[in-house]
Structure 1
Amino acid sequence: MTIWLSLCGAVLVVAYLLGSTPTGYTVVKLLKGIDIREVGSGSTGATNVLRTLGKGPGAFVLLIDCLKGVLAIALVYWFFNFSPSQNLIPPEVNTELWQPWMVILTGLAAILGHSKSIFLGFTGGKSVATSLGILLAMNWQVGLATFGVFAIVMAISRIVSLSSIVGASAVSIFMTLLHQPLPYILFAVVGGLYVILRHRSNIERILAGTEPKLGQKLQVEQEQTVNSAS
């Protein structure tokens, strides 16, 4: 049992490291030579990359960050398929009960890694794209439904942060409606709350009416531009 628990712990560490991979930071550093954490919102996510470098790099970072979530969950599925052939699962372990809990723990590890990257001094993004990848790997219907909510709110408001917050709020509803296992519903609640908390500053700007729409710069960026020109 000790070996089995150690292997499960190793899976969680790998998932965290996957999430920690600093995609946005690396892309901006390579293409523009700057630290994206010192630009705009300070986030390393796709939205801040979009504001900094444009659509192409922003879309690339979005795709890779989403893929990090997919790979983290795929790792769990592979682990549970691989373990029986190597006699790694103790007789007392009920894999049907254990696997869903490992899925959500791995997902949370990847989300934490993206927002608190060990490679960036425990800073990072807001975990939206990585969370989407996790949802698609857990249940593609929930993932697509969540993305649909995000897209609808985006089309109406043109505000990425608001779309992300509403999407994160809707996940637990979709998990419940599609009769997903209890661990998945708990993940939706905990993960959704975490993503919303990561948007605290955005919520303040939304309430103040200063949150930029897609294509606009943050007010702090505009002020910095004015100050540097004066």
Structure 2
Amino acid sequence: MTAWIVLYIAASYLVGAVPFGYLAGRCRGLDLRKEGSCNIGATNAWRVLGWRWGAPVFALDFLKGFIPVFGALHWLPFLTGDSAGWDFNTAVVLVCFAVVLGHTYTCFLGFKGGKGVATTAGVLFALNPAVACTALATWLVLVGISGIVSLASILAAVAMIVAGWWMYPLAEGGSISSQVLYIAFFTLIGLLVIFKHRSNMARLFNGTEHSFYSKKSK
């Protein structure tokens, strides 16, 4: 792996680490880490700051996932010498991990960040729109039915894992395929998203999780 690829992966982490939700809150004189669900992600920004701030935060969190991965898919083949082998796929997957981990464990806020939903969505749409649409459809249906974003996000992560295992081959020509790297990414990031929602799961079990349909949320 060349020095340029390592630098690209490091830069992807730093791009993912930009805490747009936190910065939006500061522009309004608030610290989102102490407001609402105490999270810097787009959902809490939307809830605390309103849609005029929440929508741009979501878009920026999405783009910081999409752009580095899209760039990796189109630029890294020139550095690895191919667009399908182990070297290329390893580099792309590391970029995907870097940008999501940058958001969820940002170095700019003491390695405490968001829950990774919007940024993971950006990564997925750059990497595999079919997997992304499967997760998005799951999210939209569940938000529409329940109004609970955390529940929708958790089950969308599960849908992403299932779709990844379904669409990517574990083996080709009798040997392990490099596509297994993407299966590993979908699985580990899906589990990370679920893990980051553990406080939400506790509220779901207690029946105290926020819903956009509740009077309090309105």
Aligned-residue RMSD, C-alpha: 2.1
Compared CA separation, residues 217 and 161, structure 1 to 2 (3 A): farther
- The CA deviation string for residues 111-170 of structure 1, in whole angstroms up to 9 with x for no partner, is 111011111121211000000100101011111111010001111111000000000011
The Cα of 1:94 is off from its aligned counterpart by: 8.5
- Which amino acid letter does the alignment assign opposite residue 212 of structure 2? L
Cα distance in structure 2, aligned partners of 1:143 and 1:54: 26
Cα distance in structure 2, aligned partners of 1:7 and 1:76: 12
Counterpart pick for 2:16 among 10, 19, 36: 19
Mark the runs of 5 or more structure 2 residues left unpaired by the alignment.
170-178
Counterpart pick for 1:205 among 194, 203, 206: 203
User: Does residue 97 of structure 2 align to residue 108 of structure 1?
Assistant: yes
Cα distance in structure 2, aligned partners of 1:216 and 1:28: 23
Instruction: Provide the residue aligned with 1:144 in structure 2.
Output: 133
The Cα of 1:57 is off from its aligned counterpart by: 1.2
TM-score by length of 2: 0.88
Instruction: Provide the residue aligned with 2:2 in structure 1.
Output: 5
TM-score by length of 1: 0.84
**Percentage of pairs with the same residue:** 35
Instruction: Provide the residue aligned with 2:193 in structure 1.
Output: 195
Cα distance in structure 2, aligned partners of 1:105 and 1:142: 18
User: Does residue 26 of structure 2 align to residue 29 of structure 1?
Assistant: yes
- Which amino acid letter does the alignment assign opposite residue 108 of structure 1? F
Cα distance in structure 1, aligned partners of 2:114 and 2:213: 19
For 1:70-219, what aligned pairs fall within 5 Å after superposition? 70-83=66-79, 89=80, 96-179=85-168, 181-214=179-212
Could you say what secondary structure the match of 2:85 adopts? Answer: helix
Conservation of the 8 A alpha-carbon contact between 1:46 and 1:59: yes
Instruction: Provide the residue aligned with 2:57 in structure 1.
Output: 61
Cα distance in structure 1, aligned partners of 2:92 and 2:153: 22
- The CA deviation string for residues 19-41 of structure 1, in whole angstroms up to 9 with x for no partner, is 101111111211x1111111111
More divergent stretch after superposition (177-186 vs 39-48): 177-186
- The CA deviation string for residues 77-130 of structure 1, in whole angstroms up to 9 with x for no partner, is 2432443xxxxx58xx88622222222211111111101111112121100000
Number of residue-to-residue matches in the alignment: 208
Conservation of the 8 A alpha-carbon contact between 1:41 and 1:218: no
- Which amino acid letter does the alignment assign opposite residue 22 of structure 2? Y
Instruction: Provide the residue aligned with 1:40 in structure 2.
Output: 36
Could you say what secondary structure the match of 2:2 adopts? Answer: helix
Could you say what secondary structure the match of 2:208 adopts? Answer: coil
Conservation of the 8 A alpha-carbon contact between 1:43 and 1:124: yes
Conservation of the 8 A alpha-carbon contact between 1:168 and 1:195: yes
Instruction: Provide the residue aligned with 2:176 in structure 1.
Output: none
Which structure: larger Rg? Answer: 1
